[in-house]
Amino acid sequence: MCGFVCLWEIEDGGGTLLAAMLSRLGHRGPDATRIARLDDAPVAMGHCRLAIIGAEDGIQPIRADAEMLVANGEIYNHADLRAILGAENFNSSSDSEAILRLFRGGAQRWINRLDGMFAFVLATPERIVAARDPLGIKPLYMARRGKGLAFASELKAFDGFGFDDIGAVPPGTLFDSRAGLRTWYRIPAGAGAAEPGLDIDAVAGELRLALEEAVAKWMVADVEVGSFLSGGLDSSLVAAIAQKHRTGAGLGPLKTFAVGTAGAPDLLAARRVADHLGTEHHEFTFSAQDIADSLAHVVYHLESADLDLVRSAVPTLFAARLARRHVKAVLTGEGADELFAGYAYHHGYADDPRALADELTRSLGTMHNINLQRVDRMTMAQSLEARTPFLDRDLIAFAQSLPAQLKLRRTDPASAEATGPTTEKWLLRRACRDLLPEDLIWRRKAQFDEGSGTVEALRQALRLLTGSRDEVDPGRESKLYRDILRSRFAEPEMILAQAGQWNANRIAA
């Protein structure tokens, strides 16, 4: 995981502009920082590196003859690509070099062969190419200055430096200075009702295999990978499969990390899961004062003042701080709610599986500047890589082919009849019911900020920050977050304009 800046046809004052921009991203990559230029091309690139794969020789920018690359993320099929493209053509053990070698092969849809989470910029003397992974797990922003272009991993790199038309490169999109934007990946449409006679056990079995393959793939690294563990279904299933993977590989127990206020339900549930799985478990208990002390840091790194996003970012930051003391990379459960209907509002779609399928597809496409932005910014603020195996490309394709009717099912878990209350993520629970105790498999979802105790602690923190004896209402809370953001950025409206909204274009139930 890394951060980068690239300038194309922009005068950078002998390197001062690029260096100043890159200094804003140092938290994303404390292991190495490097700036390079390409001969006979109007390009300068800077990269700050968190070494995960190819730690010894994977420093960037990566150069090959007249081409140069900076990248952020992980290419999980880099070993297969290396074998296909010829190991003798590679100069390093870095997974990112596979991007450059694929590009040099000249295939029309070369980018489609990359499997992972990534954002990159690649330059030749004649053109510049930039692209982002299918769901936008890794961030990528583009801006203009005169006729020139600039790219960066976070908005703060542009702040106050006189750039125009600042915006995100959309997920699954490739920009080519010669041809403009093109969408190279589209989220598969979700299925609605289940066809008659569907073998649910067989489908659940295939889902289990797809999930196990995804977790194993997303654990590939040259460093130890731990796991967030909130005690909820998603992170618990990821941790359970990851623990099995480590055990099968003859490695020590998985390191798991949970945070919450004293006595929070998530802390207690995570402890039970960790005991059941036999992980090496670590906890951090935070207070209202801890939140008050960290809120400005959260808003600055989050690059958003959205009320819901800030609330959920607080415990994510504490979890990242805890994990970074022990590992450089963690698995998370992000994406399961969007794939398998895990949010409370999804229950309103119980009688309309077609609308539910469409809503899940829509929400997958909006993750990049909501939940994925939260996870990326809060973990990278602590120089920690977060990995989201539920958003594996193969798993997305399989999950989207599954009937939404089986994801949110109007049935009691103990009954085969389609009556009773609706159960979210029903098929996922059924597929993994042997991994956890039954009461944890069927435990109702709580939002991370609720289960961790953040909601009540945040109320107290807001009173501390505002000096109010009364509870701070949502309107005043939102204003506080916007005021914090405005105090930290020279161009706050540019930052605020990029923020995602939880309810934008939601499909009607």
What are the percentages of helix, strand and coil residues in the chain, rounded to 5? 45, 20, 35
> How many Å apart are CA 374 and CA 149, to the nearest integer?
26
Is residue 92 within 8 Å of residue 57, measured between CB atoms? yes
Report, as residue numbers or ranges, the catalytic residues.
Answer: 2
Number of residues assigned to the chain = 509
Q: Please provide the distance, in angstroms rounded to a whole number, between the alpha carbons at the two ends of the chain.
A: 38
- Which element (helix H / strand E) includes 84? helix 78-85
> How many Å apart are CA 423 and CA 408, to the nearest integer?
6
Tell me the three state secondary structure of residue 275. Answer: helix
**Where are the extended beta strands (E) located within 391-491?**
409-410, 422-423
> How many Å apart are CA 231 and CA 235, to the nearest integer?
7
Whether cis (ω within 30° of 0) applies to the bond prior to 437 is no
> How many Å apart are CA 272 and CA 229, to the nearest integer?
11
> How many Å apart are CA 376 and CA 380, to the nearest integer?
6
Is residue 293 within 8 Å of residue 366, measured between CB atoms? no
Q: Which amino acid is at 299?
A: V
Beta-carbon contacts of residue 376 (< 8 Å; ≥ 6 apart): 137, 138, 139, 386
* DSSP characters over 106-161: T-TTGGGG--EEEEEEEE-SS-EEEEE-TT--S--EEEEETTEEEEESSGGGTTTS
Tell me the three state secondary structure of residue 331. Answer: strand
> How many Å apart are CA 266 and CA 230, to the nearest integer?
5
> How many Å apart are CA 262 and CA 502, to the nearest integer?
29
